[in-house]
Amino acid sequence: MNANRAASGRGWTIFVRVSAALVFAFMLLPLLVLIPVSLTSGTLLVLPTPGYSLRWYQDVFHNPIWLNALRNSLIIASITTVVAVALGTAAAIGIWRLAPKVRGIALAVISVPIVTPAVIAAVAMFIFHASVGLGGSMTSIVLGHITISAPFVVIAVLSSLDVFDNRLMLAAASLGAAPPKAFWHVMLPIITPGIVSGAIFAFLTSFDEIVLVLFLGSPSVRTLPQELFSGIREQMSPSVTVIANMLIVVATAAIIAVELLRRRIVVAGEKK
Amino acid sequence: MTFLTRTMRTRWAASLLLIAPLFAFLLVFYFYPIASFLLRSASTSEITNTIPATSIALGQWDGEGLPDEPVYAALVSDLNASAQAAAILGRRLNALEPGMRTVVRKATAAARELTLATPAEAKAKLIEADEKWGAPATWKLLRHETRVATSTFLLAAVDVQRKADKLELKTGNDALFLPIFLRTLAISFTVTLICIIIGYPVAWVIAMATPRTASWLMLLVLVPFWLSILARTAAWIIVLQGNGPVNSLLMWAGLADAPLQLVFNRFGVILVMVHVMLPFLVLPLCNSIRAIPKSYFQAAANLGAPPVRAFMHVIFPLTVPGMWAGGFIVFILSIGYYITPALVGGPNDQMISSFIAFYTNQSINWSLSSALSAWLLGGMLALVMLSQRVIGPMIRRVT
């Protein structure tokens, strides 16, 4: 009886593990197909590929359309990141200092841009920006991207503040440090991992963003996701998979960086 | 005491000062644009701007019979003021009542000859140009659409139209948007259900693993979460296409004789959406499984419950809140989804967001896209409230 029960328990464990493995495969395997396809020597998106070459990578790096889009995306994401980090970090510190009840309300307001359907925000901004003379400009895209990136900065910085011991600030104050000095020398070094994670999230949000760009962009300001979108829609070529592959590599590297930073925050929290 | 309140006050003021820049930014560049866009659904300004004098004159009309001659004169001067405005008026009225474009065009042409005419002449000539200007229904429509606010678009967005002062629900082939709303809900519900079913074992395995393994497994869930949706969609199209690996595998295994249509249809939309949404379910569910004290598992086993029964009666109910939370996020995010249906769906798989985009870009009817947005956001808000008022206490009672 007991052996029977143990066996059925083991059977379930195996079943659950195999199911989970299958789901992990479902999440990750399809992404791997981009690697061989982008390295094909042919012109079709078929597997197995007729042979391997770097021709499509060369093609992308010599094509002014892709290069221009890449340049636009990098500029937009960089400006967005700088502004979102400045606004988001200040707001996170402010929210952290609030009473828990008010903090909840502030956080709810901040998270609205994360859950509101992107299309609604995009259409609303499209009409508003056109009415104030920003229509179709890079500024318009940057303003839009800041609104959806800054909330991620706030959340990331808040999570590093959660493990920050405010007695350190009191100690700094009692030793005669003015608030800005105490912030710079005491708080900032400790919450830096959170700020960097927030910056990475903000950069990725802007760099990969497509819905706002579809409405706020114009033929003269096209970003990488926008070219990718038309590429997928109109003609899937191996160049499209090269770009997709590069976006995946950049994002994966960024997420691993965030994970390593997060572990530093957790370690700091455990030490406390 | 005064010192303490003063420091409390400065602390409070400093906090607000730190929050202010972001909130001000969001207010100006996020909340204000969305609010003014949503108000557009009830606004009549698109029409009143084209015929300002007529709108004012109509405000004094009692709605009985035909309006007085000065109203006709006002319309003549409005139509003469700007040909562009007259064209917009025609387009807007045509959307409400087919045929009005011609009626307005005829009036515009007639008005050109009437710059110096008396109000009586204006009335006679306009009615001569098109008999609809002599029909009370035309003027009632104009009066209705030049009031302070109109419900026309909000009603149209849920397939309700006003016919002879009565509200009528469009059904069958005439129904435009309700089927789309239903389709949006159905797709979102299916995606949520599949995410719960396949996300449960993943969350379970992560929650049960050693902390070291768990953090790596969690990374495997998180990486897809941050990857470009376009890149993932491109990958799926290649995997699912007619000569793609999945079809090759199915045919090799003898499960299909000819390539199956796996993408650019409902199947593709749901599959790719599940791929996008799964991390949102796994994270909260994993947290709620982790929160179960390890002693519960042992207690259930010691009391002789077979593992499956222990799970169903002890463990599973404790994970219900996490499942609700994750499922709720997946559902809410799915309802507003746009990109995946646009790229891997057919014409019959587009969700409500696609129609908001369509009425903004292609068929320029911002009032209608605003009305659709208002219903979508309103519905989401209602769901959030419901989840807090009803689902929250319900979960607490169940667990």
Compute the average pLDDT of residues A192-196: 90
Interchain pair A12, B307: CB under 8 A: yes
* Structure confidence at residue A268 (pLDDT): 63
Contacts of the segment B96-100: beta carbons below 8 A, 24+ positions apart: B96/B141, B96/B145, B96/B152, B97/B141, B99/B132, B100/B132, B100/B138, B100/B141
Residue B361 has pLDDT above 60, yes or no: yes
Q: Is B135 helix (H, G, I), strand (E, B) or coil?
A: coil
Which distant-in-sequence residues (6+ apart) come within 8 Å of B356 by Cβ? A119, A120, A123, B369, B372, B373, B376
For residue B60, which amino acid is it? Q
Residue A140 has pLDDT above 80, yes or no: yes
When the pLDDT of each residue in chain A is averaged and rounded to a whole number, the result is: 87
* Structure confidence at residue B395 (pLDDT): 60
The DSSP bridge pattern shows strands B160-163 and B166-169 to be antiparallel
Q: CB atoms < 10 A from the CB of B316, how many?
A: 13
Instruction: Output b/e per residue, B71-108; b: 16+ Cβ within 10 A.
Output: bbbbbbbbbeeeeebbebbbbbbbbbeeebbebbbbbb
Q: What is the DSSP letter of B176?
A: -
Interchain pair A248, B234: CB under 8 A: no
Residue B36 has pLDDT above 80, yes or no: yes
- Range of lowest pLDDT (A74-78, B187-191, B257-261): B257-261
Look at B19 and A177; give whichever has higher pLDDT: B19
Listed residue (A208, A193, A217, A198) closest to A266, CA to CA: A193
Chain B residue with Cα closest to A224: B230
* Structure confidence at residue B2 (pLDDT): 58
Q: How far is the C-alpha of A92 from the C-alpha of A56, rounded, in Å?
A: 44
Q: How far is the C-alpha of B322 from the C-alpha of B168, rounded, in Å?
A: 42
CB nearest to A24's CB, from B34, B220, B237: B220
Chain A residues near residue B25 by CB distance under 8 angstroms? 87, 146-147, 150
pLDDT (tens digit per residue) in A7-45: 666 777 888 899 999 999 999 888 888 888 888 777 777
Range with the largest mean pLDDT of A71-80, A173-182, B50-59: A71-80
Q: What is the DSSP letter of B164?
A: T
Q: CB atoms < 10 A from the CB of A155, how many?
A: 19
Interchain pair B205, A263: CB under 8 A: no
- Encoded tokens for B24: 């001000």
Instruction: Output b/e per residue, B383-399; b: 16+ Cβ within 10 A.
Output: eeeebeeeeeeebeeee
- The phi-psi region of residue B167 (left if phi > 0; otherwise alpha if psi is between -120 and 50; otherwise beta) is beta
pLDDT (tens digit per residue) in B84-118: 888 888 888 887 788 889 999 998 888 888 888 88
Window 100-129 of A: residues touching B by CB (8 A cutoff) are 106, 109-110, 112-113, 115-129
Chain A residue with Cα closest to B333: A115
Chain A residues near residue B34 by CB distance under 8 angstroms? 116, 120-121, 124
Q: Where are the beta strands (DSSP E) in chain B?
A: 160-163, 166-169
From residue B315, how far is each of B202, B252, B282, B305 by CA, in Å? Answer: 16, 42, 17, 12
Listed residue (B238, B232, B344) closest to A44, CA to CA: B238
Q: Where are the CATH 1.10.3720.10 domain residues in chain B?
A: 178-398
The answer to whether A26 contacts chain B (CB < 8 Å) is: yes
Query: What CATH number labels B178-398?
Result: 1.10.3720.10
Which distant-in-sequence residues (6+ apart) come within 8 Å of B153 by Cβ? B41, B42, B367, B368, B370, B371
CB nearest to B356's CB, from A8, A106, A120: A120
From residue A113, how far is each of A27, A109, A119, B21 by CA, in Å? Answer: 26, 8, 11, 16
Interchain pair A26, B17: CB under 8 A: no
Residue A95 has pLDDT above 60, yes or no: yes
For residue A272, which amino acid is it? K
Q: Which of B7, B9, B10, B19 to mutate to test the interface with A (most CBs of A within 10 A)?
A: B19
ipTM of model: 0.89
For residue B275, which amino acid is it? H
CB nearest to B353's CB, from A8, A119, A204: A119
Per the CB < 8 A criterion, the answer to whether B92 and B81 are in contact is no
* Structure confidence at residue A164 (pLDDT): 83
* Structure confidence at residue A1 (pLDDT): 46
Q: How far is the C-alpha of A107 from the C-alpha of A111, rounded, in Å?
A: 6
Give the minimum alpha-carbon distance from B254 to chain A in angstroms, rounded to a whole number. Answer: 19
* Structure confidence at residue B332 (pLDDT): 92
DSSP of chain A: -HHHHHHHHHHHHHHHHHHHHHHHHHHHHHHHTHHHHHTBSSSS--SS-S-B-SHHHHHHHH-HHHHHHHHHHHHHHHHHHHHHHHHHHHHHHHHHHS-HHHHHHHHHHHHHHHHS-HHHHHHHHHHHHHHTT-TTSHHHHHHHHHHHHHHHHHHHHHHHHTT--THHHHHHHHTT--HHHHIIIIIHHHHHHHHHHHHHHHHHHHHT--HHHHHH-BTTB--HHHHHHHHHHH---HHHHHHHHHHHHHHHHHHHHHHHHHHHHHHHHHH-
| φ, ψ at B318 (rounded to 5°) | -70, -20
Residue A5 has pLDDT above 70, yes or no: no
Per the CB < 8 A criterion, the answer to whether A143 and A76 are in contact is no
Portion of chain A with pLDDT greater than 70, in percent: 93
Q: Which helix (H) or strand (E) holds B208?
A: helix B178-208
When the pLDDT of each residue in chain B is averaged and rounded to a whole number, the result is: 86
Per the CB < 8 A criterion, the answer to whether B346 and B355 are in contact is no
